[in-house]
């Protein structure tokens, strides 16, 4: 079970990093979403995966219990990532409507921060 969870966290992280490094707006948003899923899964797994355990100790005692803190952290992270995704979608939509494309062109004419190309003066 732990191997499956660790592997899925690794796959989500690798996919998220790959998509973030693309130069288009929509894959970047999907990459951030995948990374937030990976973080949520990591936080949830940090509370030890236990099945059919009570979330709190009762007055009669329990041999084992599930830690409720990672569950609360994951719920908070889900709300934050949803809000972040909504803001990023609106920013990307505004940029798309302004430029009529969602690509990030780093060496367009007039970009002072872009490095100059050698050999091409045209």
Residue at 37 is within a domain: yes
Residue at 119 is within a domain: no
pLDDT of residue 116 exceeding 60: no
Angle at which helices 25-45 and 2-20 cross, to 10°: 160
Give the global pTM.
0.73
Residue at 61 is within a domain: no
Round to whole Å and give the CA distance between 88 and 30: 10
pLDDT in tens, 10-51: 999 999 999 999 888 899 999 999 999 999 999 888 877 777
Q: Write down the pLDDT at residue 71.
A: 83
Residue at 76 is within a domain: yes
Backbone angles phi, psi at 53, to 5 degrees: -110, 145
Residue at 108 is within a domain: no
Expressed as residue numbers, the domain containing 94 is: 2-51+66-99
8 Å CB contact between 29 and 20: no
pLDDT in tens, 68-93: 788 888 999 999 999 999 999 999 89
Neighbours of 85 (CB within 10 A): 15
Residue at 87 is within a domain: yes
Residue at 42 is within a domain: yes
- As for how many domains the chain has, the answer is 1
| Tokens standing for residue 89 | 């979608």
Residue at 17 is within a domain: yes
Residue ranges in 1-121 assigned as alpha helix (H):
2-20, 25-45, 68-99
8 Å CB contact between 25 and 99: no
């Amino acid at each position: 079970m732990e191997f499956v969870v660790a592997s899925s966290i690794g796959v989500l992280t690798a996919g998220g990093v790959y998509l973030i490094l693309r130069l288009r707006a929509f894959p970047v948003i999907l990459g951030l979403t995948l990374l937030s899923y990976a973080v949520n899964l990591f936080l949830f797994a940090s509370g030890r995966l236990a099945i059919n355990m009570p979330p709190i100790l009762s007055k009669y005692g329990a041999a084992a219990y599930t830690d409720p803190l990672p569950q609360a952290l994951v719920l908070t992270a889900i709300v934050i990532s949803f809000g972040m995704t909504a803001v990023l979608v609106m920013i990307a939509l505004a940029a798309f409507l302004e430029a009529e494309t969602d690509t990030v062109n780093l060496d367009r004419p007039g970009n002072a921060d872009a490095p100059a190309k050698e050999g091409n003066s045209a």
